[in-house]
Chains A and B, each alone.
Chain A
Amino acid sequence: MIARDIRHSAFAGTLVALARFVIVVALTFLGLLALTFFIGRVIPIDPVLAVVGDRATNEQYEVARVAMGLDRHVVVQFASYVLDVLRFDLGMSVSTNRPVAEDLARVFPATLEMATIGILIGVGLGIPAGVLAAAHQGRWVDQVIRVFALLGYSVPAFWLGLVGLAIFYAGLGWVSGPGRVEIFYDGITPVVTGLLTVDSLLDGDWTVFKSALSHIILPATILGVFSLAYIARMTRSFMLDQLSQEYITTARVKGVPGWRVIWVHGFGAIRVPLITVIGLSYAGLLEGSVMIETVFSWPGIGNYLTTALFNADMNAVLGATLVIGAVFIMINKISDVLYRILDPRSR
């Protein structure tokens, strides 16, 4: 009887927590919508003028104003904007003449592909670097890694992209230049996942795969360098916290080998907080990819955003901003949830 009560209340507690989580996420999304609405409809002095141009007659102007729904009250406008977004209607893009939502669905996999390879590089190099720095705290290895990590915060991504192209593409010829694949291979691979490296493998087409890989490796590595800096820094900080604990001293006194103390005892304890860090850097790569994609003419969401900026294509700008914001929020929330599930103390 008592046992059932406890199980029942635990279940109810989970439900309440779940409901609260859903409400918080919904409110954050509503806030995000309010923000993009504010940027698109309130800040521009005259959004109609931006669409019709300054040579339009008064009648044309009035028609456009009504067509854009700007004659309605601002609250009504916001409500209809929210409803449109809920139906995945982000308006038409002025420059591509297609629905923005369709455009975004087409370009998003390219960004996902690059960011995923980037985060693999960042995690693969950043975590060992951070652990190494913590294990040799204050020694030269630590200082070198610290300065390198600070460099990651100081180098402009677009500059590194240009220099990388000049050295590895034009200079050494190790990798391919801008774009996603050689132009004559473009569009011959059937789209399954939208990730070209995966699709070409599924298709069994090694030529396309090699071309795609040689195009993605440089931008993805540069993107990875930026997450590497943050991951290495946080890993070092977490490790130092652990290595000063008494259980580490105990293990050392017991005669556990040094590498085992660091990698099994110390590192084992920081795996969970690292998940949050990796989630945050994955989300952060979305931001970095805006600049990198522009430099590498990579047909992803960042390039779409900056192209729309040049064409004053406000629907596309806001749509891309909204999607990046939504993905950013989702990755953050997911890493929050994972943290809660994996770390018993946070329950």
Chain B
Amino acid sequence: MLTREWLLDDSPASRGQAAAGRAYRVSLDLPRNPLAVAGIVIISILILTAIFAPLIALEGPHGQYLERRLLPPSGDHWMGTDQLGRDIFSRVVYGARITLMIVALVAVISAPVGLLIGAVSGYFGGWVDSVLMGVTDVFLSMPKLVLALAFAAALGPGIENAIIAIAITTWPAYARIARAETLTIRNSEFVAAARLLGASHTRIITRHVLPLCTSSMIIRVTLDMAGIILTAAGLGFLGLGAQPPSPEWGAMISGGRSYIFDQWWVATMPGFAIILVSLGFCFLGDGLRDVLDPKSEGKS
């Protein structure tokens, strides 16, 4: 059954076959895109590092070893040690877990919220649309980082609050995209047919509209991941996100800030981790857009 012909069939017999065929086509196209491959490799490394952190790290992320503080990078400590003598490499490895948790939670919270608000807004139109999009526009009219800062300040420091603050600032962009997609779908014949068959609004939105919005949403969320990582690190750097001694990368850079002129590695090393992971998501997002959205191929 799982043959190439079945997957590439032009007239799939079931929803499952259509989905499998689409996934197969994407999986054929993605490896041909060097940027996407680089992105997938980097993100896979991040995920594996997060899962196997205790095996990869040389020691735990906490503790104090003052006899070996601020040692430069060497064979024993690949990224050197920090002001409390902790091995920076080990802390960066454990930090992968925090970063992965932040991006996953922000995506899980904000993407569905934005998707639903945008779809409802576009589907019903009228005053529902005006009110929901008015609220969305107010959020969009603020710089994201500043809004996240203000929310984090009001909610109080801490990683959970940082995640909530970032999620609050990311959903409006998704709502806009979902609304635009919904507007093009709303008047199509298959939606009219579903309505004639007696499908409820809830059913049309959840079963017919939302699935069609997902591919542009996936691209956008992937491209946003880099921004989310940078905002989270920024909040950590300012002391509003993860709190020391948590090995969050932004908080680690903040900890090494006073040593930047003499012991550069303390603040510099976690930064490389942030850049690598953000770049991975950018590459994947760019590659996904090339593959999933052929209209924009080779552009931007």
Partners in one complex: yes
Q: A residues near B, CB below 8 A?
A: 27-28, 31-32, 34-36, 39-40, 43-44, 137-138, 150-151, 153-159, 162-163, 165-166, 170, 233-234, 236-237, 240-241, 283-284, 286-287, 290-291, 294-295, 305-306, 309-310, 312, 314, 317-318, 321, 324-325, 328-329, 332
> Are B135 and A36 neighbours in the complex by a CB distance under 8 Å?
no
Among A28, A153, A162, contact of B257 (Cβ-Cβ < 8 Å): A162
Q: Is residue B151 within 8 Å, beta carbon to beta carbon, of the partner chain? A: yes
A-B CB contact pairs (8 Å), 7 listed: A151-B275, A151-B279, A156-B233, A159-B233, A159-B253, A309-B238, A314-B153
Number of A-B contacts (CB under 8 A): 145
Per-position 1/0 for B94-137, Cβ under 8 A of A: 00000000000000000000000000000000000000001101
Per-position 1/0 for B265-300, Cβ under 8 A of A: 001100100110011001100100000000000111
Per-position 1/0 for B252-269, Cβ under 8 A of A: 010001001100100110
> Are A138 and B267 neighbours in the complex by a CB distance under 8 Å?
no
Give Cα A31 to B133, complex, Å. Answer: 12
Interface centre among B142, B240, B275, B283 (most CB of A within 10 A): B142
State whether A154 and B239 are in contact (beta carbons under 8 Å apart), knowing that A137-B298, A290-B146, A325-B143 are contacts in the complex: no
State whether A317 and B298 are in contact (beta carbons under 8 Å apart), knowing that A154-B279, A158-B237, A159-B271 are contacts in the complex: no
Give Cα A287 to B143, complex, Å. Answer: 6
State whether A39 and B151 are in contact (beta carbons under 8 Å apart), knowing that A28-B138, A158-B234 are contacts in the complex: yes
Q: B residues near A, CB below 8 A?
A: 134-135, 137-139, 141-147, 149-151, 153-155, 226-227, 230, 233-234, 237-240, 250, 253, 257, 260-261, 264, 267-268, 271, 274-275, 278-279, 282-283, 286, 298-300
Among A153, A240, A294, contact of B298 (Cβ-Cβ < 8 Å): A240
Chain B interface main SS type: helix
> Are A31 and B146 neighbours in the complex by a CB distance under 8 Å?
no
> Are B153 and A317 neighbours in the complex by a CB distance under 8 Å?
yes
Give Cα A190 to B146, complex, Å. Answer: 32
